[in-house]
């Protein structure tokens, strides 16, 4: 018996993007670039002074850069020689994302001018040129056919060229970060536009496949990458134009990121939900403050810094074991509630040890003030110093100290994560019952993770006490407008990517820098971060920087492809 089967027609391959649409994208992008050299308003009352011709203000410069990037990627889609490497996985998505970023950043700026100055009558022709120039590429790019494909192997370059490329990328990254941190606090519109443009540009580079290729290069030249990272980090205070104003922000970001990495051991590797983790930061800070020569210390001792560090880390370790031993037999929400209670108990206890409600140890709500600055090998951390003809402020000293602490924490995290105990943490996180059935002592493994995470937080707390020169209970709450607190630390780990090193560092940097630069939104910060986390869980649940395991779990398309492949096989039979 013969069965007639109609062969299925394979879907036709999409052709190249229409040249007319790409030319429209390029034309509109160049129009946006031209608008940056025109005046956008006639009055200097708008922050940044956008009244000049031929000299773009910083906020106009962002639209200029976004327009150039959009035009460059559109030229890559046209097959322009020398730019084809920009779109190894297809041009449509990155071009559209960049065009949207240019549209969002430019239109936000123009609307901000109208709102601040009181109407569109205050706009000059350059603003209308910018509106039209940014709208055209977005509309044209939306109509481009999807040409996504798997990236072909990258062309092999000489080693010196690859190293030079890595160096250039690090230099560019340092400039972009410095530009954002150095934005004037009196110009919040500039920082918002910066976030929009940089966010869309980073997403476009990710979709274009350039981050994957950069990751391949950095993995190939690991030592060069580490040296480049260290050089970029060390160079940051030397290129600051605002003195110590933003170096302090960088110091606090490093403290926040270090604590987030410690929490990443507990949450990201071992899968233990800790809602009171900031208390371990407080334990280290209080322990260091009590033994560092503060005039308000109940002990009246002044230990060297290395000894104060050991005291703070050891105190946090002890608290981690004492709290973890009776509670780590719990799982899930029950463990989270217990850790939340510990965080609140710590804060209340520090406020009650004032000599009235309890022993006079921590000076109660007033905290421990007048913590002296460090003095290591004759180098006073509280004074400015001249290095290579450049004056570095006091906070630059603590910045370099925190770089060393961060490097130590990263080393510990990397070694622990790749060790046998690290693999046991991952097994416990994935399925504790199955892990224990395979012979893993779940309680012991979780207690080690809890103790290690607490120790790393205490280590950062010792530096924080000297940076702030005072320690008060209000700094260690579950949730508040100013990080670090337990909610922000957990958000930094989730936002950046659990189980990774770069993820929590990026998440901590964003969650600290944004509130610091947008203080006028202080009452709405928690609402904004809540919305951001909801969107993240919907569109990128693995975090901004995800490990391969999480990426496969959240974006496994095998089930969707299987029926299609089966149908194709039957049709060809």
Average pLDDT for 294-311 = 82
Q: What is the pLDDT of residue 189?
A: 86
CB-CB contact of 34 with 129 (8 Å): yes
Question: How many CB atoms neighbour CB 126 within 10 A?
Answer: 23
In this prediction the pTM is: 0.80
User: Which of 203-212, 253-262, 508-517 is predicted with the least confidence, judged by mean pLDDT?
Assistant: 508-517
Confidence of residue 480 (pLDDT cuts 50, 70, 90): low
Q: Domain segments of the chain: what residues?
A: 19-231, 251-518
What is the percent of the chain where pLDDT is above 70? 90
Q: What is the model's pLDDT at position 241?
A: 60
In this structure, what token pair is assigned to residue 502? 């770069």
192-239: pLDDT as tens digits: 899 999 999 998 998 888 888 888 888 888 888 888 888 888 888 887
Confidence of residue 568 (pLDDT cuts 50, 70, 90): very low
Mean pLDDT of 512-522: 76
pLDDT recorded at residue 2: 45
Q: Is the pLDDT assigned to residue 3 strictly greater than 50?
A: no
Residue appearing with tokens 């920009």: 86
Integer Cα distance of 73 and 83 in angstroms: 8
pLDDT at 560: 41
How far apart (Å, rounded) are the C-alpha atoms in residues 306 and 401?
A: 12
The contacts of residue 484 (CB under 8 Å, 6+ apart) are: 255, 256, 259, 260, 278, 281, 508, 512
pLDDT at 102 over 90: yes
Does residue 353 sit in helix, strand or coil? coil
CA dist 308 and 323 (Å) reads 22
Q: Which of 10-24, 297-311, 441-455, 478-492 has the lowest mean pLDDT?
A: 10-24
Classify domain 251-518 at the CATH topology level: ABC transporter involved in vitamin B12 uptake, BtuC (1.10.3470)
Which residues pair with residue 41 across a beta bridge?
A: 123
Q: Rounded to whole angstroms, how far apart are CA atoms 171 and 159?
A: 18
Residue 522 in tokens: 């202080």
Which two structure tokens, joined as six digits, stand for 171?
């230099």
Q: Tell me how far apart the alpha carbons of residues 504 and 402 are, in angstroms, rounded to a whole number.
A: 16
Q: Are 276 and 339 in contact (CB under 8 A)?
A: yes
The model's confidence at residue 109, banded by pLDDT at 50, 70 and 90, is: very high
In this model, does residue 182 exceed pLDDT 70? yes
Q: What are phi and psi of 376, to 5 degrees?
A: -110, 120
Q: What whole-number distance in Å separates Cα of residue 462 and Cα of residue 209?
A: 41
Q: Which tens digit of pLDDT belongs to each residue from 403-435?
A: 888 888 888 888 888 888 888 888 888 888 888
Helix (H/G/I), strand (E/B), else coil: 83: coil
> Which of 278-282, 430-434, 462-466 comes out lowest in average pLDDT?
430-434
Is the pLDDT at 400 greater than 60, yes or no? yes
CA 78 → CA 22, 72, 83, 488, distances in Å?
A: 7, 10, 9, 44
Q: What is the reported pLDDT for 6?
A: 45
The whole-number average pLDDT for the span 388-395 is 75
pLDDT tens for each residue of 71-84:
999 998 888 887 88
Report the range of poorest mean pLDDT among 129-138, 172-181, 380-389, 408-417. Answer: 380-389
Which residues on adjacent β-strands are paired with residue 390?
387
Confidence of residue 553 (pLDDT cuts 50, 70, 90): low
CB contact burial 254-281 (16+ within 10 A = b; e otherwise): bbbbbbbbbbbbbbbbbbbbbbbbbbbb
Residue 29 banded pLDDT, cuts 50, 70, 90? very high
CA distance 257 to 250: 10
Of the pLDDT bands very low, low, confident and very high (cuts 50, 70, 90), residue 243 is low
Q: Which of 261, 174, 173, 163 is nearest to 211 (CA)?
A: 173
- Angle at 493 (CA atoms; ends 490, 497), nearest 5 degrees: 150
Provide the pLDDT for residue 175: 87
Angstrom distances, CA of residue 184 to CA of 12, 254, 430, 518, 530? 53, 21, 45, 11, 26
The answer to whether 471 and 465 are in contact (CB under 8 A) is yes
H or E element that contains 391: strand 390-392
Bridge-based pairing state of the strands 375-376 and 385-387: unpaired
Residue whose pair of structure tokens reads 């208390």 in the numeric block: 279
Mean per-residue pLDDT of the chain: 82
Alpha carbon 480 to its chain centroid, in Å, reads 19
Q: Would you mind telling me the total number of residues written for the chain in this entry?
A: 573
- pLDDT value at residue 562: 39
Q: Mean pLDDT across the stretch 477-492?
A: 76
Question: Tell me, what's the pLDDT at 551?
Answer: 62
Contact 88, 151 (CB under 8 A): yes
pLDDT bucket at 242, cuts 50 / 70 / 90 = low
Helix (H, G, I), strand (E, B) or coil at 21: helix
Rounded CA gap, 55 and 413, in Å?
47
Whether the per-residue pLDDT at 135 is higher than 90: the answer is yes
Please tell me the predicted confidence (pLDDT) of residue 417.
81
Higher pLDDT, 372 or 565: 372
392 pLDDT more than 90? no
When mean pLDDT is compared over 326-335, 343-352, 474-483, the highest value belongs to: 343-352
- What's residue 267's pLDDT? 86
- 523-537: pLDDT as tens digits: 777 777 778 778 877
pLDDT interval class at 566 (50, 70, 90): very low
Task: Give the pLDDT band (50/70/90) at residue 28.
Answer: very high
């Amino acid at each position: 018996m013969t069965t007639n089967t109609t062969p299925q027609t394979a879907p036709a391959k999409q052709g190249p993007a229409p040249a007319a649409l790409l030319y429209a994208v390029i034309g509109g992008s160049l129009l946006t670039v031209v608008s940056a050299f025109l005046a956008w308003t006639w009055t200097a009352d708008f922050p940044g002074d956008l009244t000049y011709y031929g000299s773009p203000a910083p906020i106009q410069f962002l639209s200029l850069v976004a327009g150039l990037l959009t035009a460059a990627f559109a030229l890559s889609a046209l097959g322009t020689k020398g730019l084809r490497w920009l779109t190894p996985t297809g041009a449509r998505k990155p071009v559209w994302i960049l065009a949207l970023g240019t549209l969002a950043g430019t239109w936000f700026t123009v609307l901000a001018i109208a709102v601040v100055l009181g109407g569109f009558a205050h706009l000059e022709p350059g603003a209308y040129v910018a509106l039209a120039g940014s709208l055209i590429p977005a509309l044209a790019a939306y109509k481009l056919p999807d040409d996504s494909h798997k990236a072909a192997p990258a062309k092999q370059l000489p080693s010196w060229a690859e190293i030079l490329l890595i160096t250039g990328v690090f230099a560019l990254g340092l400039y972009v970060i410095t530009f954002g941190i150095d934005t004037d606090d009196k110009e919040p519109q500039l920082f918002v536009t910066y976030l929009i443009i940089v966010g869309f540009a980073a997403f476009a580079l990710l979709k274009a496949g350039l981050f994957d290729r950069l990751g391949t290069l950095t993995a190939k030249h690991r030592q060069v990458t580490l040296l480049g990272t260290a050089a970029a980090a060390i160079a940051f205070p030397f290129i600051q134009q605002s003195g110590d104003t933003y170096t302090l922000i960088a110091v606090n970001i490093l403290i926040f990121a270090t604590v987030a990495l410690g929490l990443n051991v507990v949450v990201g590797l071992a899968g233990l939900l800790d809602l009171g983790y900031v208390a371990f930061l407080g334990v280290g800070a209080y322990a260091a403050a009590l033994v560092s020569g503060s005039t308000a210390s109940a002990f009246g001792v002044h230990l060297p810094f290395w000894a104060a560090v050991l005291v703070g880390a050891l105190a946090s370790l002890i608290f981690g074991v004492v709290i973890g031993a009776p509670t780590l037999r719990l799982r899930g929400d029950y463990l989270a509630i217990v850790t939340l209670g510990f965080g609140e108990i710590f804060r209340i206890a520090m406020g009650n040890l004032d000599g009235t409600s309890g022993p006079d140890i921590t000076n109660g709500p007033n905290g421990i003030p007048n913590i002296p600055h460090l003095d290591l090998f004759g180098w006073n951390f509280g004074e400015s110093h001249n290095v290579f003809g450049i004056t570095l402020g006091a906070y630059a000293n603590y910045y370099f100290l925190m770089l060393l602490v961060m490097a130590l924490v990263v080393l510990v995290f990397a070694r622990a994560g790749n060790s046998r105990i690290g693999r046991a943490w991952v097994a416990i996180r994935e399925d504790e019952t199955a892990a224990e059935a395979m012979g893993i002592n779940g309680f012991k493994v979780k207690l080690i993770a809890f103790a290690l995470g607490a120790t790393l937080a205490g280590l950062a707390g010792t530096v924080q006490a000297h940076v702030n020169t005072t320690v008060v209970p209000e700094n260690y709450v579950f949730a508040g407008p100013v990080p670090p607190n337990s909610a922000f630390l957990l958000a930094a780990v989730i936002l950046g990517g659990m189980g990774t090193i770069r993820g929590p560092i990026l998440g901590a940097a964003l969650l600290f820098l944004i509130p610091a630069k947008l203080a006028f939104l202080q009452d709405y910060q928690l609402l904004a971060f809540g919305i951001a986390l909801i969107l993240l869980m919907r569109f990128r649940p693995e975090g901004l920087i995800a490990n391969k395991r999480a990426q496969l779990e959240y974006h496994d398309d095998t089930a969707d492809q299987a029926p299609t492949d089966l149908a194709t096989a039957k049709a060809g039979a």
